[in-house]
Amino acid sequence: MATIPETMISSSQGTRPVPVIALGTATESSIAGIKIVAPSTLVEAIKMGYRHFDTAAVYQTEKSVGEAIAEALRLGLIKSRSEIFITTKLWCNSADRHLVLPAIKQSLENLGLEYVDLYLIHWPIKINYEHVKLPVPKELVTAIDIKAVWEAMEESQNLGLTKSIGVSNFSSQKIQEILSFAKIPPAVNQVEMNPRWQQKQLNEFCKKNNILITAYSPLASFGNYWGNNSVVECDALQDIAKSRGKTTAQISLRWLYEQGVSFVVKSFNKDRMKQNLDIFDWALTAEELNKISQIPQRKLVYLHGFVVKEPNGVTAEIDSKL
């Protein structure tokens, strides 16, 4: 079983550890509610050494994650709930002050847990639509009242429903807005980040403010309908991988680790799940890091086309700054 390094984030208990690799549970079919990740797959991940699982209300996989934790406890793979770190997220249709607590309580009910380790605002928008169905018409998307929502996030931490709170898909400007009034600053900002979208300025800003970046789409979501092969078939990464006897995925994940961030990997193939953990007993050279720093940049994830059918002023601004 692999041992995954940990980094530290702020929490209600002071700084506390978080495994740098999380196993993601979002798929196009789970978001559509068609096929959910099987708990047995997540139990296999626990056997391999995964201890951090990333889910969200919109993924519709919270119940699977909770069932996997219960099964791991029953099998003796873990001794207590505290050995597993769970991240889940507030969906945009609950991004109102009075809806935050009911939303996290629903997530906890789905998970079968008394608390989550990290609760994130999924996107800095409000979707005025009760059902989880993507994409939504642009007229249903409005600006979020971030101060009111963040106050409710702080309340969820103060009540012990989550150990830490944070954001996802937030630019440095929007985080700065939160910092201007927050009693509890964000612990984490989960954003798209990989060698093809390196987020250098945002990472620097977050580090200065003691906010950990968690990178999603570390392989450009290869294998999903919204993803592409821009990382796994990148010539520079392939050259490095060939010379080191590694996969391009391993080079990408090692690069992320060396940027001082955590990251969400998502593969349910046992061999690739194991390969994604085999990145900690070697390092990239200065020459290799320099080569990666020169890779042309290309953003993958936009609200337009994924969350909304057509852009409006709110979504266009977010897409242009993140």
Question: Do 92 and 127 meet the contact criterion of CB atoms below 8 Å apart?
Answer: yes
Go through 30-63 and write b for each residue having 16 or more CB atoms within 10 A of its CB, e for each that does not.
Answer: bbeeeebbebebbbebbeeebbbbbbbbbbbbbe
The CA distances from residue 29 to 53, 104, 264, in Å, are 18, 23, 18
What residues are paired with 86 via a beta bridge?
A: 53
DSSP string, 74-96: HHTSSSSGGGSEEEEEE-GGG-S
Burial status of residue 208 (CB atoms within 10 A of its CB: 0-12, 13-18, 19 or more): exposed
Q: Which residues are catalytic?
A: 59
Tokens of 103: 């939303």
Q: Count Cα neighbours of 95 within 13 Å in the Cβ-side half-sphere.
A: 25
